Amino acid sequence: MTTTVYQDHASASGAHVARKPWPWAKIGSIALLLVCSAIMIAPFLWIMQAAFSDAAAAYVLPPRLFPSAPTLDNFYAVFDLVPFGSFILNSLFVATTITIGQLITCSMGAYAFARLEFPGKRVLFVVLLATLMIPLQVTIVPQFILMRQTGLYNTHAAIILPALVSPFGIFLLRQYFMTIPTELEDAARIDGAGYFTIFWRIIMPLSAPALTTLGIVCFVYWWNEYFIPLIMINSPELQLLPVGLTLLRGRYSAGAVGNVAAGVTMAVIPVLIIFLFFQRHIIKSIATTGLKG
């Protein structure tokens, strides 16, 4: 009798499990993410296959996502046609210098807006945010004239100096600094710590995710920047990578598409590696930023 009851209970439990509804919402979300991922990845796969294929294979319809006969000739041709190594070094120098500069200036400005009290603080912060709505094309002409008059035109300084301060970076770090408990600073003040000590030994170590995110965003932005180097740099040996890649198109855009694809592939891979290694810090920073106003 007892065995029968247990069997009936097990049968009822099994039936209940079998009748559990499918998580259609979760399945639909996963399917949508897979479709969107495929749409975003497909162009990159086509560029890579064109980089490893001959010129004829790049125009095959329907487009191929994987090369049928891989070759490295396009990559060798890139270094023969343009000073690709100089472009890489120039972009690396400019992007790294701007990134370090923004981490310093933006962290100090964000600390002032997040923790210090001074007259006009809220008004200045609103003005700072308002500058984010001004398009770059509005300020590029005065900036160009200023660089010509100061003798900085056609130098990397013409790109670096105006970019050392970022309103977006100040806003991002300020929002993150607001999430740090003020009790830590109060305890440091009791021990005799000043503003700089608190900033350097408490705020900065605790803000590693936000600083990492800002550094990655800044580096990737200036690694891919095309408009400002096009305006400010005239000498090919000083040119940055995005503008330098346009030389691979040849006159009247008659260059081989495989060469352009090879150059784009080599330009994208370093940025892709950075994102893969630091994506955890980016997610953590975005998830915690803005919890306090």
Domain annotation covers residue 36: yes
Domain annotation covers residue 147: yes
Pull the structure tokens for residue 99.
């990134």
Q: Are residues 50 and 195 in the same domain?
A: no
Q: Are residues 190 and 273 in the same domain?
A: yes
What is the CATH number for 172?
Answer: 1.10.3720.10
Contact, 64 vs 57, CB < 8 A? Answer: yes
Q: Are residues 117 and 246 in the same domain?
A: yes
How would you write the pLDDT of the chain (293 residues) with one tens digit per residue? 445 554 555 455 554 555 667 787 888 889 999 999 888 888 888 888 888 887 777 777 777 777 777 888 888 888 888 888 899 999 999 999 999 999 999 999 999 999 988 898 999 999 999 998 888 888 999 999 999 999 999 999 999 999 999 999 999 999 999 988 889 888 988 888 888 899 999 999 999 888 988 998 899 999 999 999 999 999 888 999 999 888 887 654 556 788 888 888 888 888 888 877 777 766 666 665 554 44
Q: Are residues 84 and 9 in the same domain?
A: no
The domain of 253 spans 74-288
Q: Are residues 272 and 141 in the same domain?
A: yes
- DSSP states of 206-275: HTHHHHHHHHHHHHHHHHH--HHHHHH---GGG--HHHHHGGGG-GGG-S-HHHHHHHHHHHHHHHHHHH
Q: Are residues 63 and 110 in the same domain?
A: no
Altogether, the residues listed in the chain come to a count of 293
In angstroms, the CA 100 to CA 246 distance is 28
C-alpha distances (whole Å) from 81 to each of 51, 75, 216 are 15, 10, 30
Contact, 230 vs 243, CB < 8 A? Answer: yes
C-alpha distances (whole Å) from 89 to each of 73, 115, 172, 244 are 23, 39, 29, 12
Q: Are residues 162 and 255 in the same domain?
A: yes
At residue 207, what is the residue type?
Answer: S
DSSP symbol at 131: G
Domain annotation covers residue 197: yes
Q: Are residues 210 and 197 in the same domain?
A: yes
Q: Are residues 58 and 138 in the same domain?
A: no
Last residue of a domain, one of 71, 93, 116: 71
Domain annotation covers residue 228: yes
In angstroms, the CA 102 to CA 165 distance is 5
| pTM (predicted TM-score) | 0.81
Q: Are residues 222 and 94 in the same domain?
A: yes
The torsion defined by the Cα of 205, 272, 282 and 211, in degrees rounded to 10, comes to 30
Last residue of a domain, one of 44, 71, 98: 71
Number of domains in the chain: 2
Q: Are residues 58 and 103 in the same domain?
A: no
Domain annotation covers residue 258: yes
Among residues 281, 166, 164, which one has the least CA distance to residue 216?
Answer: 281
Domain annotation covers residue 293: no
Q: Are residues 155 and 246 in the same domain?
A: yes
Last residue of a domain, one of 71, 90, 124: 71
